[in-house]
């Protein structure tokens, strides 16, 4: 809780009550302003989730070629090398039917996986890997010793490419594990068939190396390419977001300049009246108009959309000004306001700024903020002076015009004799996430209480 300035204030006790409310005019034309950084066209927060999707799409596109190559190699090898070898050695194999069945199963797996890879998501890696390993073991056993080191034992050289297809885009460790299992099955078969002469073992080693190195290289290369593409796209997306933010900031700046011109106009009006002698500086009404014009100018200058918390920033700026005029002010904020549309923020802050200009003795500003509700309040001692001017929301130069409240600024009342029902006016919900801002102003002889409240709809 940020206590800007501490004054021990006795909670007031009062008997007489006067309650009044200033409705915020409904139906004010909405301005086409960047509502906030988040909702400005193409601004950063909106771009971030997209960036991830875009990056993964880029990675997807970049390794499409690699996928086509892998599918082609696997199936071409299967068809052009393995099949003729199997058919040619049919008579010499221990159980040729099993070997042939294994070839068919693998072909099926290869075609299904290839379609999956080129059309959509990754294939069910685990189940297919297990199926391939079963085929692996069966064919090794069924081929027999006679064709162990020949192309007819097609699983040894051909199956690795199918491992590659099944495990596409999975961690490279999975492929290494599968190739390890493949090598173990082969070793088991070599030992079972009694091919343990040094020459056989050397051939085994050569086979393992020869059949694994190329698929691993292709697999790792494709993974690296995809990662690279993903990185590049992410960088490009971030650059795009920065550019979008710059555009939004420029819009906000122009918007502010337009409003600055308008508010400067009202300030000039007062200054001109003073200079021409039409306005008397001794008139409290004129002085209040000056303070108010200055507060608005200051608030506008403080209204930088890049400040982390613009609402608090604005209120603080108004408080600073009032404080400089000798008014002790307490400003306590609980919670962090959510990102609010500029319009909502102004409706929350403007009545407070106006009331602050009429405050005497002391003022207590509180801000209570949650993700779905922000309540701003100003409490000051009541006095016989008029209610602050400008409690109707200000006009600005962007086509919006707020009609003053039907009951207008109040005449100077004797506080104790005004007793009324509380009227609370809410705006109709803003079309895009604004939500209504409720504005209550009341005085009960003891305190003047201005409260604005925004609720997410």
Partner 1 sequence: MDADAVAEDVTGGRPIGVAIVDDHPVVIDGVRAWLASEPRLRVLATGDDPDVVLRAAPEADVVLLDLRLHGRMVLDKLAELSAAGWRVVVYSEHGDPETMLAALDAGAAAFLAKHEGREHCVATVLAAATDRPYVPPTLAGAMVGDPRPDRPALSDKEREALLLWFQSMSKASVARRMRISEHTVKQYVDRARIKYTRAGRPAATKAALLARAIEDGLVRPEEIGIYRSHAQTDRPTP
CB 439 within 8 A of CB 22: yes
180-188, 277-285, 305-313, 445-453 -> range binding partner 1 (CB under 8 A): 445-453
Q: Which residues of 352-369 are buried (b: 16+ CB within 10 A; e: fewer)?
A: bbbbbbbbeeebbbbbeb
**Residue 415 C-beta: closest distance to partner 1, Å:** 13
Q: How far apart are CA 226 and CA 129, in angstroms?
A: 23
Helix (H) or strand (E) holding 74, with range, is: helix 64-77
Contact flag: residue 309 with partner 1 (CB under 8 A): no
**348 in helix, strand or coil?**
helix
Nearest approach, Cβ of residue 333 and partner 1 (Å): 9
R_g (Cα) of the chain, nearest Å: 39
Strand partners, 284: none
Binding to partner 1 by residue 424, rule CB under 8 A?
no
Among 196, 202, 422, 457, binds partner 1 (CB under 8 A): 422
Q: Name the one range near partner 1 by CB under 8 A: 91-99, 237-245, 425-433, 440-448.
A: 440-448
Q: How far apart are CA 314 and CA 305, in angstroms?
A: 11
Residue with Cβ nearer partner 1 (88 or 420): 420
Report the SS3 class of residue 176.
helix
Which residues, in sequence order, are bridge partners of residue 441? 450
Stretch that binds partner 1, among 267-275, 285-293, 327-335, 391-399 (CB under 8 A): 327-335
Minimum distance from CB of 324 to partner 1 (Å)?
A: 21
Residue 266, C-beta contacts closer than 8 angstroms, at least 6 positions apart: 293, 296
423 binds partner 1 (CB under 8 A): no
Rounded CA gap, 44 and 245, in Å?
Answer: 6
CA–CA separation, 426 and 313 (whole Å)? 25
**What mask of x and - would describe binding to partner 1 in positions 144 to 163, judged by CB under 8 A?**
--------------------
Q: Which is nearer to partner 1, 2 or 224 (CB)?
A: 2
Q: Where are the alpha helices (DSSP H) in 83-171?
A: 83-88, 96-119, 125-143, 155-166
Q: Please say whether the beta carbons of 186 and 233 come within 8 A.
A: no
**Window of 6-14, 222-230, 302-310, 388-396 that interacts with partner 1 by CB under 8 A:** 6-14
- β 329-334/447-455 pair status: unpaired
**One residue of 258, 426, 447, 456 binding partner 1 per CB under 8 A:** 447
Near partner 1 in 330-349, by CB under 8 A: 330, 332, 334-335
Strand, coil or helix: what is 437? strand
How many beta carbons lie within 10 A of that of residue 301, not counting itself?
12
Shortest reach from residue 365's CB to partner 1, in Å = 9
As measured in angstroms, the least distance from the Cβ of 453 to partner 1 is 9
Q: Could you tell me which stretch among 139-147, 371-379, 384-392, 431-439 binds partner 1 (CB under 8 A)?
A: 371-379
Residue 265, token pair as written in the block:
């106009």
Q: Which of 13, 197, 199, 282 binds partner 1 (CB under 8 A)?
A: 13
When asked if residue 446 is in the footprint of partner 1 (CB under 8 A), the reply is yes
Indicate whether 369 belongs to the interface with partner 1 (CB under 8 A). yes
- Calpha distance 446→380 (Å, rounded): 9
Nearer to partner 1, 122 or 371 (CB): 371
**Counting contacts by CB under 8 A, is residue 449 touching partner 1?**
yes
- Nearest 5°: the CA angle 384, 387, 393 is 170
Any contact of residue 416 with partner 1 (CB under 8 A)? Answer: no
Q: How far is the CB of 17 from partner 1 (least distance, A)?
A: 5
- CB neighbour list of residue 275: distance below 8 Å, 6 or more residues apart: none
Total count of residues recorded for the chain: 457
Between 101 and 327, CB nearer to partner 1: 327
- When binding is defined by CB under 8 A, the residue of 1, 276, 406, 417 that contacts partner 1 is 1
Residue 311 pairs in a beta bridge with none
Closer residue to partner 1 (CB): 70 or 319? 319
State yes or no: residue 308 binds partner 1 (CB under 8 A): no
Which of 125, 137, 186, 379 binds partner 1 (CB under 8 A)? It is: 379
Closest listed residue to residue 423, CA positions, set 23, 46, 142, 65: 23
**In terms of CB distance, is 293 or 331 closer to partner 1?**
331
Instruction: Out of 38, 370, 413, 426, name the contact with partner 1 by CB under 8 A.
Output: 370
For 126-150, give the secondary structure using H, E and C. Answer: HHHHHHHHHHHHHHHHHHCHHHCCC
Of 120 and 421, the one with the shorter C-beta distance to partner 1 is: 421
- In the list 356, 375, 391, 437, the residue contacting partner 1 (rule: CB under 8 A) is 375
Total residues at interface with partner 1 (CB under 8 A): 34
Contacts with partner 1 by CB under 8 A lie at 1-3, 6-15, 17, 19, 330, 332, 334-335, 364, 366, 368-370, 375, 377, 379, 422, 442, 444, 446-447, 449, 451
């Amino acid at each position: 809780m940020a206590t800007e300035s501490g004054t021990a204030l006795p909670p007031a006790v009062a008997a007489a009550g006067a309650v009044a409310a200033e409705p915020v005019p409904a139906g004010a034309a909405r301005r086409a302003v960047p509502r906030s950084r988040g909702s400005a066209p193409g601004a950063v927060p909106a771009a971030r989730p997209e960036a991830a999707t875009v990056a993964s799409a880029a990675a997807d596109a970049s390794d499409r070629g690699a996928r086509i190559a892998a599918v082609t190699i696997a199936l071409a090898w299967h068809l052009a090398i393995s099949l003729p070898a199997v058919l040619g050695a049919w008579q010499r194999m221990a159980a040729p039917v099993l070997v042939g069945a294994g070839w068919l199963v693998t072909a099926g797996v290869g075609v299904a996986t290839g379609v999956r890879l080129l059309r959509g998501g990754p294939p069910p890696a685990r189940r297919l890997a297990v199926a391939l390993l079963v085929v692996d073991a069966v064919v090794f056993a069924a081929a027999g010793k006679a064709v162990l080191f020949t192309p007819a034992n097609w699983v040894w050289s051909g199956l690795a490419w199918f491992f590659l297809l099944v495990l596409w885009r999975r961690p490279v460790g999975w492929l290494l594990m599968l190739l390890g299992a493949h090598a173990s099955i082969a070793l088991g078969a070599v030992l079972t068939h009694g091919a343990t002469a040094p020459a056989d073992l050397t051939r085994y080693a050569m086979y393992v190396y020869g059949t694994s190195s190329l698929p691993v290289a292709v697999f790792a290369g494709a993974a690296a390419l995809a990662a690279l593409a993903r990185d590049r796209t992410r960088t490009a997306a971030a650059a795009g977001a920065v550019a979008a933010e710059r555009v939004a900031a420029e819009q906000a700046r122009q918007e502010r300049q337009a409003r600055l011109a308008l508010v400067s106009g009202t300030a000039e009006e007062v200054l001109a009246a003073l200079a021409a002698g039409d306005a008397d500086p001794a008139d409290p009404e004129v002085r209040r108009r000056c303070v108010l014009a200055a507060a608005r100018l200051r608030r506008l200058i403080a209204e930088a959309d890049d400040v982390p918390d613009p609402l608090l920033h604005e209120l603080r700026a108004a408080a600073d000004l009032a404080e400089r005029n000798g008014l002790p002010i307490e400003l306590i904020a609980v919670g962090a306001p959510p990102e609010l549309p500029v319009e909502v923020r102004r409706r929350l802050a403007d009545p407070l700024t106006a009331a602050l200009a009429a405050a005497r003795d002391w003022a207590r500003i509180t801000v209570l903020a949650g993700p779905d509700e922000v309540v701003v309040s100003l409490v000051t001692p009541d006095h016989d002076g008029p209610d602050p001017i400008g409690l109707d929301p200000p006009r600005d130069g962007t086509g919006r015009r707020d009609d003053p409240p039907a009951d207008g600024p109040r005449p100077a009342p004797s506080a104790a004799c005004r007793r009324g029902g509380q009227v609370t006016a809410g705006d109709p919900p803003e079309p895009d996430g604004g939500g209504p801002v409720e504005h209550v102003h009341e005085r009960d002889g003891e305190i003047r209480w201005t409260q604005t409240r925004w609720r997410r709809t």
